[in-house]
């Protein structure tokens, strides 16, 4: 569903490429967690999949479509939750969801929108409050609702649980599981080793724009992920 | 509903919740009302000035009748009789001052040499002239674009700055329609504010809904369309709100301040016109030189161009009115070539301005508005032509009596020529398409900037 082939992206003035000849596939129903320190190339990889950056070489494919050639069509098949979900403060959570859903071409009845917000963990009382009064976690939940409402086949998550409290983070894990059951392919960049081990079907440890390690779910069970991560960073 | 209309509907909701937008449109509306109020006062003053002319004329004629009772020489009576002429106000005159603050609305002419009389004008307050006038045309040409720039210059950079842009783009839309909807709705808000002020002007001044009034509205919207294109271009070409603001202000200053000044300077250099005062002085020098010449020489000079009067009785004695008016007219004739060149150069300036002004929508719109308000240079020159024709009527009326040394009784005064301010229909108005081409051109530039990854 999500395919990255020999992808290289170098920023002007940078000594080394941000993403260096990367190959990666995420199948439907799979959750691939990308671990790595800041600057490892996780967000650059996601931005190439979103079509926000043009790779210097290689390509990114969504559902078999080349992102560089069909940027609009590939975006339609993706949902995305950034690390910081920034919304319109003068709209309520419900209105923000309605607006972003319409941008994605979906029109939902009020009850459906509220269902998405509730699924994302936003308490009912907050649905009609202006987002300017929301906490970071509440905004993040609206972001999750926006991604859910898009009903996409692939989901790109860039540190989605940052700002969520442990119980909200747990609810989010449940949600991801349900999405996997619906055959959604998920690529998640994260620093959260615990969540990665809990939720992912595969984990990739990225360093200097390359995947240093890839572990399957079976391997993860018997691996001390933190130790492996620290070893990879020290290497 | 089509996706673009859905986007527009959301942009209306954004705008209605945006306090800054209310403030900007409110300030524009207030500026419009102020312009309307000053326009109304100016109109009232001009109307009163014009309406008072018959009474002033009657008072003057009563005085002359008293002085020359039971009768007086035709030349003597004509010397003391001032005839009022006026440039009537078009329905839209209250909205665009044009050149009417630097040229007279009323000119009193006598049978004397005309050139000097045409350029005599009283200035109400010269200090205000340096500052320029505050009228609705200024609000529309300078302030409405500023309001649109304030509202829409950061249409995309604000999204980048606040971190919403990735999520917006990831939803599957492209930045182009989003920008188009955003700029369109903001331009509509500014345009509706301007239209509302115009509607109030129509009700209050009042202005009938003629083709000219509708033309004013069409010019308002076409001008805003050009600026909407400009602002879309700035919003698409810049990457930070600071850069957008700098671009917007630079463009506004260039269009509203620098371009008109440069155009003016270029025209003044390329097409120098002699001041009206210079013509007056030349004409007077020519006329008064005749005091020191033999009367017969002046009369001979006069008969060269006016052979109809050559058969009239010769000038005798130390002073004769026919000689006096012949001397005045030869003064006019001595500067007739310069006078024609003066007028032609002014007209050429106006023509070239109209041809070049499309480079800047504000300058072009200013021309459109003053043309529709009958307050542009062409309208003033046409008025001067009518005064010139009326002065010719005066000569045609008085000369047979002056050259026949006839006397007039007060009963004759009723048949004196009177200026008729029948205004010819305005010339074909300047086209709006240059503004629409500017709009389309800059929108195309904006679209080019949004091709490819735009994050």
Residue B60: what pLDDT? 95
Question: Is the per-residue pLDDT at B131 higher than 80?
Answer: no
Q: How many domains does chain B have?
A: 1
Question: Which pLDDT score, from 0 to 100, does residue B240 have?
Answer: 94
Question: Cβ atoms within 10 A of the Cβ of B195, count?
Answer: 15
Domains of chain A, by residue range, sit at 2-77+153-234, 85-151
Which pLDDT belongs to residue A157?
92
| Chain A residues whose beta carbon lies within 8 Å of the beta carbon of residue B163 | 82, 84, 86
Phi/psi class of residue A29: alpha, beta or left (left: φ > 0; alpha: ψ in -120 to 50)?
left
Q: Average pLDDT in the A222-228 region?
A: 78
Point out the least confidently predicted range of A208-212, B117-121, B315-319: B117-121
- Is B45 at the interface with chain A, CB within 8 A? no
Helices (H), B52-103: 53-67, 74-80
Separation CA B11–CA B176 (nearest Å): 14
Mean predicted confidence (pLDDT) in B417-445: 86
| Residues of B whose CB is below 8 A from A50 | 166, 169-170
Identity of the residue in A50, A53, A105 whose CB atom sits nearest the CB atom of B170: A50
Comparing CA positions, the residue from B108, B124, B126 lying closest to residue B116 is: B108
Tell me which residue has tokens 């959604």: A184
For residue A96, the model assigns a pLDDT of: 97
Residue B10 and residue A102: Cβ atoms within 8 Å? yes
Which residues, other chains included, contact B40 with Cβ-Cβ below 8 Å and sequence gap of 6+?
B94, B204, B205
- Residue range B295-304: mean pLDDT, rounded: 84
Q: How far apart are the C-alpha atoms of B222 and B202, rounded to whole Å? A: 20
Q: Is any Cβ of chain A less than 8 angstroms from the Cβ of B26?
A: no
Residue A9 has a pLDDT of 93
B452 touches chain A (CB under 8 A): yes
Taking an 8 Å cut-off on Cβ atoms, the answer to whether A80 and B167 are in contact is: yes
Arithmetic mean of pLDDT over chain B:
88
pLDDT computed for residue B355 by the predictor: 82
Highest mean pLDDT of the ranges A91-105, A147-161, B400-414? A91-105
Predicted confidence at residue B155, as pLDDT, reads: 94
- Choose the weakest-confidence range: A134-138, B119-123, B449-453: B119-123
The answer to whether residue A206 neighbours chain B at the CB level (below 8 Å) is no
Cβ-based neighbours of A61, under 8 Å, separated by 6 or more: A2, A3, A4, A5, A67
Note the pLDDT of residue B124. Answer: 54
Residue A231 scores a pLDDT above 80? no
Least confident of A75-89, A154-168, B68-82: A154-168
Asked if B17 reaches chain A (Cβ–Cβ under 8 Å), the answer is yes
- A185 or B311, which is more confident? A185
Residue A58 C-alpha, separation from nearest chain B C-alpha, in angstroms: 16
Nearest alpha carbon to residue A8 among A205, A188, A209: A209
Q: How confident is the model at residue A222 (pLDDT cuts 50, 70, 90)?
A: confident
Q: Which domain holds residue B101?
A: 1-455
Q: Is B314 on the interface with A (CB under 8 A)?
A: no
Q: Is A102 on the interface with B (CB under 8 A)?
A: yes
State the smallest CA–CA distance between residue A215 and chain B in angstroms.
Answer: 29
- Give me the mean pLDDT over the B333-362 stretch: 85
Confidence at residue A171, expressed as pLDDT on a 0 to 100 scale: 85
Q: How many angstroms separate the CA of residue A87 from the nearest CA in chain B?
A: 6
The answer to whether the CB of B154 falls within 8 A of the CB of B235 is yes
- Counting one residue from A and one from B, how many pairs have CB atoms under 8 Å apart? 70
Query: For residue B427, what pLDDT is reported?
Result: 67
Whether the Cβ atoms of residue B153 and residue B244 lie closer than 8 Å to each other: yes
Nearest to A86 among B164, B169, B172 (CB): B164
Residue B122's pLDDT is what? 56
pLDDT at B347: 87
- The answer to whether the Cβ–Cβ distance between B171 and A95 falls below 8 Å is no
ipTM of this model?
Answer: 0.90
Q: pLDDT, tens digit, for every residue of B75-112?
A: 999 999 999 999 998 889 889 988 887 788 899 999 98
Quote the pLDDT of residue B454.
65
Furthest CA-CA distance within chain B: 101
Structure tokens of B399?
């000369």
Between A224 and A116, the higher pLDDT residue: A116
Strand ranges, E, within B295-414: 407-408
Token pair for residue A229? 């991560």
Whether the CB of A103 is below 8 Å from some CB of chain B: the reply is: yes
**pLDDT value at residue B181:** 95
User: Residue holding tokens 């009389």?
Assistant: B117
Q: What is the pLDDT of residues A112-158, one digit of tens each?
A: 999 999 999 899 999 999 999 998 889 989 998 999 999 989 999 99
CB contact under 8 A, B172 and A85: no
The C-alpha atoms of residue B406 and residue A184 are separated, in whole angstroms, by: 111
**Contact between B353 and B367 (Cβ < 8 Å):** yes
pLDDT in the model for residue A165: 83
pLDDT-derived band at A235 (thresholds 50, 70, 90) equals low
What is the per-residue pLDDT for B111? Answer: 93
Lowest mean pLDDT among A132-141, B14-23, B130-139: B130-139
The pLDDT of residue B129 is 56
- Was domain A2-77+153-234 assigned CATH 2.130.10.10? no
Torsion angle of C-alpha atoms A98, A103, A109, A111, degrees rounded to 10: -40
Q: Is A143 at the interface with chain B, CB within 8 A?
A: yes
Please give the full DSSP string across B136-180, using - where no structure is assigned: HHHIIIIIHHHHHHHHHTTTTHHHHHTT-HHHHHHTT--HHHHHH
A71 contacts in chain B (CB < 8 Å) = 174, 453
pLDDT of B138-168, one tens digit each?
999 999 999 999 999 999 999 999 999 999 9
Structure-token pair, residue A28: 């439907």
pLDDT at residue B100, rounded to an integer: 80
- B 171-210 residues with CB below 8 A of A? 171-174, 178
* Poorest-pLDDT segment among B16-25, B58-67, B305-314, B389-398: B305-314
pLDDT grade, residue A195 (50/70/90)?
A: confident
| Cα B6 to Cα B72: distance, rounded to the nearest angstrom | 83
Measured between beta carbons, which residues in chain B are less than 8 angstroms from residue A49?
none
Residue-wise pLDDT for B45-54, tens only, equals 999 999 999 9
Instruction: Indicate if the pLDDT at residue A91 is higher than 70.
Output: yes
Q: Please judge whether A84 and B163 are an interchain contact, meaning their C-beta atoms are less than 8 angstroms apart.
A: yes
- Closest CB to A90 among B17, B166, B453: B17
In this prediction, residues B196-224 reach a mean pLDDT of 93
Q: Where are the alpha helices (DSSP H) in chain A?
A: 42-50, 71-76, 93-103, 110-119, 136-150, 166-181, 193-199, 217-221, 225-234
In chain B, pLDDT over 70 holds for what percent of residues? 94
Measure in Å the smallest separation between the Cα of A22 and chain B Cα atoms.
20
Q: Does B167 contact A88 at a Cβ distance shorter than 8 Å? A: no
Closest CB to A104 among B172, B174, B453: B172
Q: C-alpha B367: how far from its chain's center?
A: 7
Percentage of residues of chain A with pLDDT beyond 70: 100
Which of A76, A86, A156 shows the shortest C-beta gap to B162? A86
DSSP class per residue in B248-259: HHHHHIIIIIIH
Q: For residue B359, what pLDDT band results from cuts at 50, 70 and 90?
A: confident
Using alpha carbons, list the distances in angstroms from residue B36 to A157, A219, B51, B200.
56, 79, 22, 9
Is cis: bond before B70, omega within 30 of 0?
A: yes
Q: What is the pLDDT of residue B453?
A: 63
- Lowest average pLDDT, out of B155-159, B181-185, B244-248, B268-272, goes to B268-272
Interface mutation target, options B155, B160, B170, chain A, most CBs of A under 10 Å: B170
Distance CA B81, CA B57 (A): 9
Chain A residue with minimal CA distance to B4?
A103
């Amino acid at each position: 569903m999500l395919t990255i082939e020999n992808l290289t992206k170098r920023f002007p003035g940078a000594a080394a490429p941000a993403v260096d000849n990367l190959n990666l596939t995420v199948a439907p129903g799979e959750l691939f967690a990308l671990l790595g320190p800041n600057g490892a190339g996780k967000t650059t990889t996601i931005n190439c999949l979103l079509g926000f950056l043009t790779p210097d070489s290689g390509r990114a494919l969504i559902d078999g479509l080349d992102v560089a050639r069909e940027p609009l069509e590939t975006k339609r098949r993706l949902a995305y939750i950034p690390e910081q979900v920034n919304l319109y403060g003068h709209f309520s959570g419900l209105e923000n969801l309605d607006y972003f859903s319409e941008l994605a071409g979906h029109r939902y009845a009020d009850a459906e929108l509220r269902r998405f917000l509730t699924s994302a963990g936003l308490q009912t009382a907050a649905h009609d409050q202006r987002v300017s009064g929301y906490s970071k976690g509440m905004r993040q939940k609206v972001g999750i609702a926006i991604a859910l409402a898009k009903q996409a086949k692939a989901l790109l998550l860039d540190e989605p649980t940052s700002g969520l409290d442990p119980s909200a983070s747990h609810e989010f894990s449940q949600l991801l599981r349900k999405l996997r059951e619906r055959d959604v392919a998920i690529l998640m960049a994260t620093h959260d080793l615990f969540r990665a081990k809990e939720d992912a079907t595969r984990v990739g440890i990225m360093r200097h724009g390359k995947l240093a390690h890839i572990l399957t779910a079976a391997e993860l069970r018997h691996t001390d992920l933190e130790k492996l991560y620290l070893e990879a960073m020290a290497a | 509903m089509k996706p673009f209309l859905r986007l527009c509907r959301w942009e209306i909701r954004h705008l209605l919740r945006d306090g800054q937008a209310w403030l900007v449109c409110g300030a524009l509306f207030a500026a419009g009302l102020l312009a309307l109020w000053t326009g109304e006062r100016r109109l009232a003053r001009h109307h009163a000035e014009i309406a008072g002319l018959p009474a002033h004329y009657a008072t003057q004629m009563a005085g002359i009748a008293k002085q020359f009772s039971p009768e007086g020489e035709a030349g003597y009576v004509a010397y003391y009789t001032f005839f009022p002429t006026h440039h009537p106000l078009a329905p839209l005159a209250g909205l665009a001052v044009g050149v009417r603050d630097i040229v007279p609305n009323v000119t009193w002419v006598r049978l004397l040499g005309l050139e000097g009389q045409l350029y005599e004008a009283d200035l109400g307050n010269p200090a205000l002239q340096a500052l320029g006038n505050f009228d609705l045309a200024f609000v529309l040409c300078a302030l409405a674009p500023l309001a649109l720039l304030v509202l829409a210059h950061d249409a995309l950079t604000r999204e980048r700055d606040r971190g919403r842009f990735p999520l917006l783009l990831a939803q599957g839309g492209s930045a182009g329609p989003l920008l188009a909807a955003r700029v369109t709705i903001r331009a509509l808000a500014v345009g509706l504010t301007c239209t509302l002020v115009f509607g109030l002007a129509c009700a209050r001044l009042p202005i009938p809904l003629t083709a000219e009034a509708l033309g004013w509205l069409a010019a308002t919207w076409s001008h805003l369309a050009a600026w909407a294109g400009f602002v879309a271009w700035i919003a698409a070409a810049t990457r930070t709100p600071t850069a957008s603001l700098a671009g917007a202000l630079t463009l506004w200053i260039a269009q509203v301040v620098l371009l008109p000044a440069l155009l003016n300077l270029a025209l003044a250099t390329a097409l120098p016109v002699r001041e009206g005062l210079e013509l007056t002085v030349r004409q007077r020098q020519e006329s008064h030189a005749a005091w020191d010449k033999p009367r017969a020489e002046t009369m001979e000079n006069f008969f060269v161009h006016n052979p109809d009067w050559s058969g009239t009785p010769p000038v005798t004695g130390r002073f004769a009115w026919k000689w006096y008016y012949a001397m005045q007219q030869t003064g006019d004739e001595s500067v007739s070539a310069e006078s024609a060149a003066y007028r032609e150069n002014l007209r050429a300036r106006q023509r070239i301005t109209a041809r070049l002004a499309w480079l800047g929508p504000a300058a072009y719109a200013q021309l459109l508005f003053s043309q529709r308000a009958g307050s542009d240079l062409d309208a003033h020159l046409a008025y001067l032509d009518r005064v010139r024709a009326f002065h010719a009527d005066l000569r045609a009326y008085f000369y047979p009596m002056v050259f026949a040394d006839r006397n007039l009784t007060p009963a004759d005064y009723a048949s004196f020529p009177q200026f008729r301010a029948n205004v010819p229909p305005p010339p074909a108005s300047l086209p709006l398409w240059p503004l629409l081409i500017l709009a389309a051109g800059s929108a195309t530039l904006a679209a080019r900037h949004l091709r490819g990854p735009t994050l």
